Structure 1
Amino acid sequence: LKLAYDRPTLAYLGSPTGIRLVLLLGLSLLTLGSIKPVFKRWLAVHCFLAPVYETGRLMLYGGSPERVYGSLGLGSPSLWLLCTVAAAAAALFWETTFPDSNGESNGKQKTQKARVLFMRVLIFYRPDILLLVGAFIFLSLAVLCEMFIPFYTGKVIDILGTQYKWNNFLTAIILMGLYSLGSSFSAGCRGGLFMCAINSFTCRMKVKLFGALVKQEIGFFETIKTGDITSRLSTDTTLMGRAVALNVNVLLRTLIKTVGMLSLMMSLSWKLTLLMLMETPITGLLQSVHDNYYQRLSKEVQDSIARANEAAGETVGGIRTVRSFKTEQHEAGRYNDRLMDTHNRKTRRDTVMAVYLLLRRLTAVVMQVAMLYYGRLFIQRGQMSTGNLVSFILYQSDLADNIRTLIYIFGDMLNSVGAAGKVFEYLDREPQVSTKGTLQPETLTGHVQFHNLSFSYPTRQERKVLQGFSLELRPGQLTALVGPSGGGKSTCVSLLERFYQPQQGEILLDGLPLQSYQHHYLHRKIAMVGQEPVLFSGSVKDNIAYGLADCSLERVQEAARRANAHSFISQLEKGYDTDVGERGGQLSGGEKQRIAIARALIREPQVLILDEVTSALDTESEHMALASCPSQTLLVIAHRLKTIERADQIILIDQGTVQEQGTHQELMDRKGSYYKLKERLFTEDDVPH
């Protein structure tokens, strides 16, 4: 201190610096009118950085005037230019990391949301707590062992460079080998346990997400693209597990190493340690700018991949349509366009990464050169040994990476859970069609009443499909819904099946609202065979007994006989064990219809719905299917005249309302809409025109 006070250099550390700051602030206020916080910070750092730099030089070089007033003396233009650039970089880093802009509140809200998501992901890791604890223990051991390897490397160099002693050399080599072995073993165990925890978490999340998805109403799947759903199941759940577990792994490992290395480096040379820490603001600035661009581009890439998967899924799912219209080249071109879009977005993302890595490597090289330069000076002055310098440089190269990782990981650990946001959105979503009913009466007659229904599909809410619609279905009667396409027939079936919720009105089953019945009970009592029945990969028996546990073969065969399917099933190569292929591709349309009818009849429903299925059935199969339900409520949508003539009541639906109602003969005698549209609406099989 005495030396410092004796030097005129410290006169610059007093009032001149403060006066300079006041003058610059006053001039800026007069010129600009108002000063932003970032500019105030830049002025303060700019004014005080040069005196602080000179104070450091006094401490490093012992206060020699020749060294103090070198090429970067306090009054030199080079020093002030360097301080100006450094102050601007520090202010920009602060503004990027802790912005004062209007978007600050939005940034805080996003950070808080990310933290909530992160904590929810951690809660889902609770079943894997033993694996994680074991991984953290091995992580700590691996880091502690790894930290001492550079230290003993320097010891070996000092032993070889001075008077050689075999015992000291052997001890250093043995300790270095033990630490290396312990680090490798612990790192392997740590990685294995973390991967087991990640795989367990990913499998568990996929099951939970899939369970939540299949509980959603049908309208949800009409508004959400298939590629989006499959992307969440296949990609986002994996990203959730890896992002959190691996980030926590990296964070703890890096934090322990950083603290340990800093303490060892301070013991080797505190002066070089302070010099090395000057790299941190520059690294942080580069990391912050890189993160903003890279995360946005990564999200665009993820969405582009989902669109490409959707295009491929649509083509494969509709391959028969593609082949029939000979649009293979068109679909290939469409898929190629999606892939090229993904490629272009990946290129932009990887370019940002490449530029960031280049700048980061240049910064590291400059710091390495500075370390070597000042290390040589300290060795010449006897302030440290060659071995200590080697150990310090080994630590420094690792520590620089660790500091960059710490700067990155705190933000990335929150941002990486962005993939969890959409997953949790699906997990938390309550179906708009409630399934919380509790009624399960022992007896059900199957009396259905539609009361003043109004309904619009979720994707076309402006168009009323049903309006003021009322209808009654009585037990033991066959009701046929007829009318032009788009009139609302299939919508009635969908509402009765609780695929959708009507906006107005209600549907009663035995006088009680449909939504008050227990979900599984309701769909056991109301069975439907769709216009295009879907079979699943597996045997014929599995498809007939679909959803029924411990269903005997005799029960399956009885249902097949009632559906007139037993005879053709028995002729198959493996009978009821024959695989139907993907979506029933090994069977004809009529065979799939009969298996679908058997799948409905095996549940012994009180209400049976046949949505235009008789068009693919022969007359005998149709007659057996309808005759096997004498006491049930039957609702049929058909274009076959023989089926319609057999109905106890015919309902003509057009434009979402009931136009006419009665038996076939009554409607023909009335000579109304049914009579006029008969020739256009129905097919008279085996009846001469």
Structure 2
Amino acid sequence: MPLPLTLRLGCPLLLCDLALLALLGWGVPSLAPLGLPATWLEAAVRFLGLWRAWGLLAPDQPHLSPPRALTALCLLPPLYLTLRSCLPLPDVPPALLAGAPWAWLLLSYGAVGLAQLTWGALGQGDRTGGPGAEDTERESSATLRRLVGLSRPDVPFLSGAFVFLAIAVIGETFIPYYTGRVIDILGSAYDPDAFATAIVLMSLASFGSSLAAGCRGGLFMFTFSRLNIRTRCQLFSSLVRQDLAFFQQVKTGDLTSRLSKDTTMMSRSVPANANIFLRSLVKALGLYGFMLGLSWRLTLLTLVEMPLTMAAEKVYDARHQAVLRAIQDSMARSTEVVRESVSSIETVRSFATEEEESRRYEAALAETHRLKNRRDLERALYLLFRRLLQLAVQVLMLYCGHQQIRAGLLTKGSLVSFILYQGDVGSYVQTLVYMYGDLLSNVGAAEKVFEYLDREPAVCTDGTRAPESLQGHVSFRNVSFSYPSRPDRQVLKAVSFELRPGEVTALVGLNGSGKSTCVGLLERFYEPQAGEILLDGAPIREYEHRYLHRQVALVGQEPVLFSGSIRENIAYGLGGRGEEQVTRAARAAHASGFIAELDSGFETDVGEKGGQLSAGQKQRIAIARALIRQPAVLILDEATSALDVESECAIRQSVLSRGPRTVLVIAHCMQTVEDADRIVVLEGGAVAEEGTHAELMGRKGPYYRLVQRDLAE
């Protein structure tokens, strides 16, 4: 709510409240015997009356809800009186505010007014921001609700942790109270029974609170671990289902950072922040209750520290969040430098750029170090201000406490208890204020994770078609395509050709003509913008995802093997394939010879990305990995480029002799496609010509020029 409107309506609302209190004052003699129920009844009547008055005073502002100050003004007195009545303290104030002296009314209005002004000045009250601010707040609230929803399976553990939290807080709250009691007993006429009782109760409270605190922390940490693992699994499962364009646009370092750091931060936000926040909130309320019972004057004095701490915390949080985001981005960049250098170590070594890569990594670390130094400096300045403020308040409180002891309003033991309470309550209030900023940082991390969790891949994999038999007849019909990263450049332009069962079709053309793009579309790495690709007369998007990729197998020029044995790589994704099937596939790929020469045979570990094997050996294992699936369509994209002529001929005969299989061959060397049943020539993203080798050579068109160029090279 705008501040001028608050000032304009504040005085009329104050008069309405005074009128309500005057009317309620007539019923004091009859309501006073009811005690606390009468107090809450009075608060309810005041709240309803002020709510109605707000509607009458602001008819032109129907979208504005009554300010929170109304709720605080009506509910704080009964809350305070209820808490005070639970303690065996003298000088209990009147049960009804209507029968209280004017000092109580002024104190009530002054406290609520100061709190409301401070809240509004800090920008936390009724907000005046535009639609953008409201959208941001709404998104943050939705993110928090999703975070809480992720913890739903851990409700039993969290419930147990909350029970232990309540026990620990109650025990810790009573320790300073009994400490003051012991001092009063020792300072007056010594009573052995009262002294022993106080010591025993203080020991029980200390032991019980310590035991409960340990159980609470253990349950919260257990919950955090479960939530972290669950969140990482969900994120990784979502990432591996994304389309290929997503991984081309997003760096690996960013994804690794989300999986390792951001998931940890967001997983910690619910159990850890709930642990700290609830503990601090309950302790602060309980301690303030005891402090009000000991000396309401000193309690009001300690409240001066709160708005100043909140203001400093707000300024610090704004700067801290910006620095944290910069640090996260900087760490992601340094991780990306390491990944690129390690994964391309051969290139680094071949160009002798070790020093350049080291300097690049050092520069990334230096930027991170600079940002962390800035974060630490701002943190140190903030802590210095906060501790100086605490010291000033404590000195002022000791002076006022001394004056109250001299006036007989406070005992020495009560002052000691109050000092102990005040030292604790300040840290808990500061923790509550800090938790807001920490929660914002975790929400920021959670928003990035949820962005990936909610992302729908551009290529859908929800097809259901899975026939028992498949011929493998593939048809490209007027397929046009542009990569998502370059939508203005059309890679394929109305491409149409067919792959028939039992035939070998070769796809040839210069670099950039669209050969690999055709393979990517057939493998459903991308979705064409126009046209369609049919498999046995049905669009390939209708086929079930796993079924399609068992029937359409791809072997690339640089196949990727996974860490593990040769057997595991050949049977990758197929589960329990037997020894005979693996051996047969290796023999068909002309790989059984070199595998038998290895010390561990099929159990030999290939190393990371197959680094323990040569390029030709990796290609043969990749061919075996495709053949063991017995696909209806086999795509060989320069799959034998690292093999010798003998091995290449043996593999070609083995592949072509296995039934009416559809084979698509992509090659740059024209001699490897001369025996193909059909040759399709791509030029500039379109089909230039197609036919057999003899037919195309007779036309002396694009294919003829490719052959002549190949011979010249």
1:499 alignment partner in structure 2: 525
Distance 1:89 1:118, change over 3 A: closer
SS in 1 for 2:690: strand
Equivalent residue in structure 2 for 1:435, among 433, 453, 461: 461
2:559 alignment partner in structure 1: 533
Equivalent residue in structure 2 for 1:157, among 183, 195, 199: 183
SS in 2 for 1:475: coil
8 Å Cα contact 2:670/2:710 also seen in 1: no
Query: Could you tell me how far apart the structure 2 residues matched to 1:665 and 1:126 are?
Result: 69
Query: Could you tell me how far apart the structure 1 residues matched to 2:386 and 2:254 are?
Result: 36
- Letter of the aligned partner of 1:428 in structure 2? D
2:603 alignment partner in structure 1: 577
Query: Could you tell me how far apart the structure 2 residues matched to 1:646 and 1:549 are?
Result: 36
Query: Could you tell me how far apart the structure 2 residues matched to 1:552 and 1:322 are?
Result: 41
8 Å Cα contact 1:118/1:417 also seen in 2: yes
8 Å Cα contact 1:483/1:489 also seen in 2: yes
2:174 alignment partner in structure 1: 148
Equivalent residue in structure 2 for 1:452, among 469, 478, 488: 478
Query: Could you tell me how far apart the structure 2 residues matched to 1:602 and 1:554 are?
Result: 10
- Compute the displacement of 1:298 (Å): 0.9
Say yes or no: does 1:359 pair with 2:388: no
Cα displacement string for residues 417-464 of structure 1 (whole angstroms, at most 9, x for unaligned residues): 211111111111111011111111111111111111111111122211
- Compute the displacement of 1:89 (Å): 12
Distance 1:140 1:88, change over 3 A: closer
- Letter of the aligned partner of 2:623 in structure 1? I
1:220 alignment partner in structure 2: 246
Say yes or no: does 1:328 pair with 2:354: yes
Distance 1:497 1:651, change over 3 A: same
Equivalent residue in structure 2 for 1:509, among 509, 516, 535: 535
- Letter of the aligned partner of 1:492 in structure 2? C
The within-5 A match list for 1:279-290 is: 279-290=305-316
Query: Which TM-score applies when normalising by structure 1?
Result: 0.84
Say yes or no: does 1:546 pair with 2:608: no
Query: Which TM-score applies when normalising by structure 2?
Result: 0.81
Query: Could you tell me how far apart the structure 2 residues matched to 1:255 and 1:108 are?
Result: 27
Query: Could you tell me how far apart the structure 2 residues matched to 1:450 and 1:479 are?
Result: 13
SS in 2 for 1:548: coil
- Letter of the aligned partner of 1:661 in structure 2? E
Q: Which moved more, 1:600-609 or 1:251-260?
A: 251-260
Cα displacement string for residues 333-357 of structure 1 (whole angstroms, at most 9, x for unaligned residues): 1111111111111222222222211
Equivalent residue in structure 2 for 1:393, among 403, 419, 422: 419
Aligned residues: CA RMSD: 2.0
- Letter of the aligned partner of 1:671 in structure 2? K
The within-5 A match list for 1:89-238 is: 94-98=120-124, 103-238=129-264
- Compute the displacement of 1:93 (Å): 5.9
Cα displacement string for residues 27-77 of structure 1 (whole angstroms, at most 9, x for unaligned residues): xxxxxxxxxxxxxxxxxxxxxxxxxxxxxxxxxxxxxxxxxxxxxxxxxxx
2:662 alignment partner in structure 1: 633
Equivalent residue in structure 1 for 2:695, among 641, 654, 666: 666
2:642 alignment partner in structure 1: 616
Say yes or no: does 1:649 pair with 2:681: no
8 Å Cα contact 1:114/1:415 also seen in 2: no
1:591 alignment partner in structure 2: 617
Equivalent residue in structure 2 for 1:375, among 401, 412, 431: 401
Query: Could you tell me how far apart the structure 1 residues matched to 2:475 and 2:571 are?
Result: 30
- Compute the displacement of 1:314 (Å): 0.7
- Compute the displacement of 1:409 (Å): 2.6
Q: Which moved more, 1:672-681 or 1:179-188?
A: 672-681
- Letter of the aligned partner of 1:648 in structure 2? D
Cα displacement string for residues 481-508 of structure 1 (whole angstroms, at most 9, x for unaligned residues): 1111111111111110000011111111
Say yes or no: does 1:476 pair with 2:502: yes
Distance 1:257 1:682, change over 3 A: farther
SS in 1 for 2:193: helix
Say yes or no: does 1:566 pair with 2:595: no
Query: Could you tell me how far apart the structure 1 residues matched to 2:578 and 2:549 are?
Result: 20
Equivalent residue in structure 2 for 1:277, among 294, 303, 308: 303
- Compute the displacement of 1:683 (Å): 9.1
- Compute the displacement of 1:680 (Å): 2.6
- Letter of the aligned partner of 2:156 in structure 1? L
- Letter of the aligned partner of 1:656 in structure 2? G
SS in 2 for 1:460: coil
Query: Could you tell me how far apart the structure 2 residues matched to 1:272 and 1:474 are?
Result: 91
2:709 alignment partner in structure 1: 680
SS in 1 for 2:485: helix
2:293 alignment partner in structure 1: 267
- Compute the displacement of 1:102 (Å): 6.4
Query: Could you tell me how far apart the structure 1 residues matched to 2:441 and 2:358 are?
Result: 35
Distance 1:683 1:546, change over 3 A: farther
Q: Which moved more, 1:326-335 or 1:93-102?
A: 93-102
8 Å Cα contact 1:202/1:241 also seen in 2: yes
2:68 alignment partner in structure 1: none
Say yes or no: does 1:254 pair with 2:280: yes
8 Å Cα contact 1:481/1:638 also seen in 2: yes
SS in 1 for 2:553: strand
1:302 alignment partner in structure 2: 328
Deviant stretches of 4+, over 6 Å: 87-90, 99-102
- Letter of the aligned partner of 2:695 in structure 1? E
- Compute the displacement of 1:126 (Å): 1.3
Distance 1:182 1:211, change over 3 A: same
Gaps of 5+ in 2: 1-10, 12-112
The within-5 A match list for 1:48-63 is: none
Equivalent residue in structure 2 for 1:602, among 610, 628, 632: 628
Query: Could you tell me how far apart the structure 2 residues matched to 1:108 and 1:366 are?
Result: 38
2:54 alignment partner in structure 1: none
8 Å Cα contact 1:287/1:408 also seen in 2: yes
- Compute the displacement of 1:105 (Å): 3.5
- Compute the displacement of 1:98 (Å): 3.5
- Compute the displacement of 1:546 (Å): 0.1
- Letter of the aligned partner of 1:655 in structure 2? G
8 Å Cα contact 2:118/2:307 also seen in 1: no
Query: Could you tell me how far apart the structure 2 residues matched to 1:658 and 1:648 are?
Result: 17
- Compute the displacement of 1:292 (Å): 1.2
Distance 1:682 1:367, change over 3 A: farther
- Compute the displacement of 1:104 (Å): 4.5
Say yes or no: does 1:426 pair with 2:455: no
1:70 alignment partner in structure 2: none
Distance 1:103 1:624, change over 3 A: farther
The within-5 A match list for 1:397-412 is: 397-410=423-436, 412=438
Query: Could you tell me how far apart the structure 2 residues matched to 1:216 and 1:541 are?
Result: 28
Distance 1:601 1:198, change over 3 A: same
Cα displacement string for residues 140-199 of structure 1 (whole angstroms, at most 9, x for unaligned residues): 111111111111111122222222233322222222222111111111111111111000
SS in 2 for 1:459: coil
Query: Could you tell me how far apart the structure 2 residues matched to 1:376 and 1:108 are?
Result: 49
Query: Could you tell me how far apart the structure 2 residues matched to 1:135 and 1:455 are?
Result: 56
- Letter of the aligned partner of 1:634 in structure 2? V
8 Å Cα contact 2:509/2:668 also seen in 1: no
Query: Could you tell me how far apart the structure 2 residues matched to 1:330 and 1:348 are?
Result: 27
Cα displacement string for residues 285-310 of structure 1 (whole angstroms, at most 9, x for unaligned residues): 11111111111211111111111111
Query: Could you tell me how far apart the structure 1 residues matched to 2:206 and 2:133 are?
Result: 44
Q: Which moved more, 1:245-254 or 1:670-679?
A: 670-679
